[in-house]
Chain A
Amino acid sequence: MTQIFAYIPFKNGAAEDVALEYPTAAKKIDEGASLTAVVTGSGADLDKVADEMTSIYSQVIKIDHADLAYPNAEVVRKALVNIIPTDAVFLTAHDTFGMDMAPGLSVKMDSAYAADMVDFEGIDGTTLKGVRQELGGAVNIHVTIDISSGAVMTVRPGSFAPVDGGSAGGSVVDKSGDAGDLSVKRKFLEVVEAEAGDVDITKSDVLVSIGRGIEDEDNIEIAQELAEAMNSVVSCSRPIVDAKWLEKSRQVGTSGQTVKPKVYMAMGISGSFQHMGGVKGNPFIVAVNKNPKAPIFQVADVGIVEDILDFIPELTEAVNDL
C-alpha cells in the first residue's frame, strides 16, 4: 500500500488552503493509499493547526521544536528525513517554501522528485503517471515517476479540488522526539514586509494589467491612458517590475498583490500560474494577446487576438467617445 505524507504549511495558526487539496491529489495518486498530515512548528499555533487537521486527516504527525518556529526549509528538511519513511510518497505545496525544501529532501531520502504537479493519473505497479506544465504554462506534459524507492513531489496550489473535511476524526501523534539534530548552516533572521506603493491596486474594481507584451517602458503611457478612461489603475505582471518600469506594489501574483477586481484586463500577459494566482474573486477577465495559443485564453472570459500596442489606444479612444 502506498503511504502518502502531506506537509501542511500554515501562517498565524491557520493552515493554507492546500491542506484541503492534498486528499484529492492523494486519491488520484492511489485510491487505496494511506494519507498522513505532517505539521512542523512550535507552541500554540502548531497545536491549533495539528488539531484542525484531525478533521481532514485520520493521522496527523506533529513535530514541535523551538528551531521550527519559523519554517526554515533547511531545518524542516532535517527533521523530515528522520521521520518520513524513505519509501513513502511525500507531498508539499509548490510554493516558496516547497521550492526551497523539497528538491534537497528527495536527495536526502534517495527518492524520485517531481515538481509542480497539476494532476495525477494513477499508479501502475510502482510507476506513477502525472501531469505538469512547461515553458511558463504554454504546454502540458505527461511524466512518469518511479516511486519504488519513494518520491518527493510538490503540487501546485489550487490544482486539486478541495475536500470538505470535518469528519475524519483523526488523531495527533507527537513525533518531536524523533526529529534528531536540527543544527543547520542557514539561520533565519527576519521577514521584511513588502513596501506599500503610490497606488493601492487592491482597491480598484477595474484593473488594466500589462505584461511583457507592452514591450517598452515608453508604451506604459497608453495603458495609463486606458486606465484613466476606464476610471481604473494600471497593474502589471512581474517582468514589468523586474525591469523597474513600475513599482513592485503594482505587481499582481503570488509574489505580488492578490487582487479581487470586478474586471481584469490582461494586456500582453501570458497567464502563468504565478500571475493568475494573484487574481481572485472570479472577476470578468478580458485577455488581449497577439498569440492565439497564449495560455491566458484558457482562463479568460473574453479573448482578443490583437497587438496591444495598436489595440489599447483604439479602445481608449472608443471609451472616451462614449
Chain B
Amino acid sequence: MEILVCVKRVPDTAENEFELNSAGNDLDRDDLVYSVNEWDNYAVEEAIQIVDKVGGNVTVITVGDDESEEVLRREMAMGANSGILLCDDAFEGSDGKGIAGILKAEVEKGSYDLIMSGAQADEGAGQVGGMLAAMLDYPYASLVNKIEVQDGKITVGREIEGGNQEMNEIQLPCVLSIQTGINEPRYVGIRGIRKVAKVDIPVNGADDLGIDTASVGAAGAKTKRVDYFVPDMGDGAEMLEGSTDEIIEKLIEKLKAKGGL
C-alpha cells in the first residue's frame, strides 16, 4: 500500500507562551519553538504500522518553507520512507483550499492508495484533508481513531461526540484525517534524525507542479487572516496572589464556601 501523509510544522502549544508583538497584530515570533503538529505524528505512526503489516511505502509531504524540511526528516526518522517538500514564494498566504490544491497537484503525479493528515493543526480548522478528498473525488473520513485494512477497502472508526465510535467501510483510494490517541507514536531520538540527515528530499515549486500561481497564495485566498488580537476577556478569573501558603489559605476559604471541602 502506498501511503502519503500530509504534515505541518507548527508553533508548539506545549512549549510556548504565546504573546502578541509590539504592534499587537501578530504573534511575537521571536524565540517561538516549532515542532511537527501533534496530530500528524499519530498519522505517520499509523501509516508505518499499516505498511509494516501489508507492505508498501510511507511518504511524508508538507507545504512550507525551507525550515519545514526538519519536520519531514523527523517523520522519516520515525520510519517514513521518503519526504517531499512543496515550497514556492507563490504559496505564501494560501488558505486551506490553496494548500489542498497544491497537495492535489503532487498527489496526481504519484499513485497513492491512502492519504492521511492530522485531524487539525495550529489553525484548528481541520480543513485540508476534506478539501483534498473532494478535489480528488476520493471518499473522506475525519477524526479517525481506528483503521483495519482488507483487500481494496478498509474499515475505519471515527471518534464522535461523547467518545463514541462511528464505524465505516471506505473504498480505496481515500483520504483520512487522524485523531490523537489512535496509537502511541514512537519516540524519535537524535540518532534517528541523524540517520536520515542526508537523505535527499525533493523540493517542488509551482512550475514543477503545473500550478497557476493566481489560484494559490494570498492572491487565490478567499479566506484571509488579518490580525491577531487580545479579546475583551470580560471578568476573567480572580487571580490569587501572594506566597504559596497565602494562596492556599485563600483557596481553602473559597473551596469551603463553594462546597469543595
Residues on A facing B (Cβ under 8 Å)? 72-74, 95-97, 99-108, 111-116, 129, 131-136, 138-146, 151, 184-194, 205-206, 212, 230, 238-239, 241-244, 248, 251, 254-258, 262-263, 265, 270, 284-287, 291-293, 297-306, 310-311, 314-315, 318-319, 322
Contact = CB atoms under 8 A, between A and B. Distances in A.
Q: Classify the secondary structure of A's interface with B.
A: mixed
> Which of A206, A242, A291, A322 neighbours the largest number of chain B CB atoms within 10 Å of its CB?
A242
Interface in B1-31: 11, 13-14, 17-20, 27
A305 B168 CA distance: 45
A135 B11 contact: yes
B127 A113 contact: yes
A256 B133 CA distance: 28
Nearest to A95: B161
A73 B96 CA distance: 19
A62 to B, nearest CB: 23
B189 interface: no
A104 B226 contact: no
Given A284-B260, A302-B251, A139 B95 contact: no
B40 interface: no
A108 B125 contact: no
Contacts of A270: 13
B140 A322 contact: no
A262 B258 contact: yes
A265 B237 CA distance: 13
A162 to B, nearest CB: 18
B163 A114 contact: no
A243 B14 CA distance: 15
Residue of B14, B161, B233 most packed against chain A (CB within 10 A): B161
A304 B251 contact: yes
B171 interface: yes
Nearest to A94: B126
B197 interface: no
Contact of A103 (B131, B230, B244, B255): B131
Contacts of A134: 122-124, 228
A141 B228 contact: yes
B19 to A, nearest CB: 7
Interface in B110-152: 119-120, 122-131, 133-135, 138-143
A107 B131 CA distance: 6
A115 B180 contact: no
Contacts of B229: 140-142
Contact of B258 (A73, A112, A284): A284
A319 B261 contact: yes
Nearest to A128: B223
B188 interface: no
- Residue from A134, A136, A241, A291 whose CB has the most chain B CB atoms within 10 Å: A134
A70 B127 CA distance: 23
B162 A189 contact: no
Contact of B244 (A138, A184, A306): A306
Closest 10 CB pairs of A and B: A103-B130, A303-B237, A104-B134, A107-B134, A112-B222, A263-B260, A115-B125, A194-B163, A185-B139, A242-B181
B247 interface: yes
A107 B135 contact: yes
Nearest to A207: B260
A189 B155 contact: yes
B43 to A, nearest CB: 13
B184 interface: yes
Contacts of A140: 228-231
B125 A104 contact: no
Nearest to A137: B124
Contacts of A189: 155, 167-169
B169 A187 contact: yes
B105 interface: no
Interface in B194-236: 222-231, 233-234, 236
A103 B96 contact: yes
28 contacts: A99-B119, A100-B141, A103-B126, A113-B95, A113-B127, A115-B123, A135-B11, A136-B124, A138-B18, A139-B20, A139-B228, A141-B225, A142-B227, A144-B223, A145-B222, A146-B222, A184-B139, A187-B170, A192-B165, A192-B167, A194-B165, A244-B184, A254-B161, A255-B163, A256-B162, A302-B237, A303-B236, A303-B237
Contacts of B155: 189
Given A140-B230, A251-B163, A298-B233, A113 B252 contact: no
B143 A96 contact: yes
Given A104-B130, A193-B164, A212-B14, 4 more contacts: A113-B131, A186-B141, A189-B168, A255-B162
A314 B244 contact: yes
B83 interface: no
Given A186-B170, A192-B164, A322-B252, A143 B223 contact: yes
